[in-house]
Structure 1
Amino acid sequence: MLSELLAGAVSDAEQRRLSRPLATVEADALARPAALDALAALAPADRVKIIAEIKRASPSRGALADILDPAALAVSYETGGASAISVLTEGRRFLGTLADLEEVRAAATIPVLRKDFIGTAYQVFEARAAGADMVLLIVAALEQKTLLSLQELIRELGMTALVETHSADEVGRALDIGASLVGVNARNLSDFTLDQDLFGALADRIPSGVVRVAESAVKTAADVAHYRAAGADVVLVGEALVTSDPIRTLSEFLAV
């Protein structure tokens, strides 16, 4: 599944490149105001922090929410106390677009993550051109050389990479490239099964000074508390927010 998603995302980017060449996207990226400091926004604190996700659908759950106005939802997330906003921009299975990211960036004052299946420099320049402050890199999807080069490009553009892992080996690879924001995804991207205890099993491998992000398998405040007790600085939440009153749900989650 992961290979299919990455191949599709890269192919779609190549189609966009036909009408919007790299030089154009790079110029747009460099013309953007400086990216917001995501590491400062997500730095460890006395209470857990939330990255709130704008997500219409997923391969595992199908359609979740129409989200006709991503900007309005982003404002609700920020009002509710989210520290950052994640925007799914993958179109085939998650029904997202770069336009969603642009609308969210225009409406929000907190850092915004481009969550997609990133495999090329073109996609990184697209992210900055659309206003992203963070870009997701999935260790399992990338060779180490590519992972390193994309991380370096993200930094050169003033953004922060959220480097996603699923195993001890992948945590090691993330640390080897100097990742400062490391996520552990409870969802296996090969078969989409969930293991909520995976974060706790890997958290001690992520040193202090690196922000620890728990991803997936969050439905209730108890799930947030579970991750917080295991050492999460930040929890990324999607489905639970788009299928509920986001401000009320964020209040419950941030109270743990």
Structure 2
Amino acid sequence: MTNGEESILKRIAARTCERVAAEKVVHPLATVAAAAEERAAKERAAHLAPSFSFPFERALRAPGLSLICECKRASPSRGLIAADFDPVGIAREYEDAGADAISCLTEPFWFQGADKHLERVAQAVSIPVLRKDFVVDEYMIYQAKAIGADAVLLICAILGDAQLKAYIGLCERLGLTALVEAYEPEELSRALEAGARVVGVNNRDLHSFEVDFGRSIELKSMVGPDRVFVSESGIRDARDLRRLAEAGVDAVLVGEALMRRTDRRAALDELRGGLS
């Protein structure tokens, strides 16, 4: 990779580190961790069991190809996607149209997301919600739990092996599903070695933001049937969905193809047409 190709992801990760440092001043780690632990304890008590139900993972393990639909206002590669952005309205529309889970962007600078978007979405829908952000610190995992997320994204390209393993363990302890994202075969191997039960392959290179849709299909063979395999980004139409289903993919994360449509129910129905 050249320095130019690396710069996008590096800049996002560096800016996220700055953001977390500032947030820790206002809301110290101890406070956020306590809120997360309290929510986790209430969930365990509600299920009358010592362990969690992991609704995000359970939704993706259901028969057929599961759809994770994204609430996203902007992106570094496309700029502003939805000027009139109503995350709750969009999430409810997805749920009504039969989505299996919601992905909600909380990164504020490049994606114009916010934690309050996820908080409101999680309260408004009954399907599980993924906090999609660039986790660089355990603080963000506690934060995700505290604001109501059911899952978090962990990106191999910005985390070392020790971090991956520790963060997956923390997610497990809090009842969060870790969606561990890879782009290269080596990164996918690292995710599996770290103990990821749900792995995602991003068809978009997060260094250059170029899309290679076939990457998911190529790397699916590395993942056994005991793990959940998610294909992310670059999914445009019913033909793409059919190809992924035929390759044995368990779930897909669809963002821009839905966000750019005014009738998202119709868009979701069109996508599902590839599975009939």
Q: Normalising to structure 2: TM-score of the pair?
A: 0.89
Q: Distance in 1 between matches of 2:86 and 2:212?
A: 32
Taking every aligned residue pair, what percent have the same amino acid on both sides? Answer: 41
Aligned residues: 255
Q: 2:96 aligns with which of 79, 83, 104?
A: 79
Work out which of the two has the higher radius of gyration on C-alpha atoms and give 1 or 2: 2
Structure 1 residues without counterparts, runs of 5 or longer: none
Paired residue for 2:3? none
Runs of 4 or more consecutive aligned structure 1 residues displaced over 6 Å after TM superposition: none
Bigger CA drift: 230-239 or 30-39? Answer: 30-39
Paired residue for 2:266? 248
Q: 2:34 aligns with which of 24, 27, 31?
A: 27
Q: Distance in 2 between matches of 1:21 and 1:203?
A: 40
Q: Distance in 1 between matches of 2:109 and 2:36?
A: 24
Conservation of the 8 A alpha-carbon contact between 1:81 and 1:251: no
Letter in 2 for 1:174: A
Deviation at 1:242, TM superposition (A): 1.0
Conservation of the 8 A alpha-carbon contact between 2:69 and 2:99: yes
Q: Distance in 2 between matches of 1:239 and 1:129?
A: 27
Paired residue for 2:119? 102
Conservation of the 8 A alpha-carbon contact between 1:219 and 1:240: yes
Conservation of the 8 A alpha-carbon contact between 1:74 and 1:104: yes
Conservation of the 8 A alpha-carbon contact between 1:48 and 1:254: no
Letter in 2 for 1:81: G
Paired residue for 1:138? 155
Structure 2 residues without counterparts, runs of 5 or longer: 1-7, 44-51
Q: What is the DSSP-based 3-state SS (H/G/I as helix, E as strand, rest coil) of the residue aligned with 1:114?
A: strand
Q: 1:197 aligns with which of 189, 209, 214?
A: 214
Q: Distance in 2 between matches of 1:23 and 1:192?
A: 36
Letter in 2 for 1:151: I
Q: Deviations over 1:23-58 (max 9, x none)?
A: 11112112224375211111051x311000001111
Greater relative contact order (Cα 8 A, min sep 6): structure 1 or 2? 1
Q: What is the DSSP-based 3-state SS (H/G/I as helix, E as strand, rest coil) of the residue aligned with 1:110?
A: coil
Conservation of the 8 A alpha-carbon contact between 1:44 and 1:211: no
Q: Distance in 2 between matches of 1:250 and 1:188?
A: 25
Q: CA RMSD in A?
A: 1.2
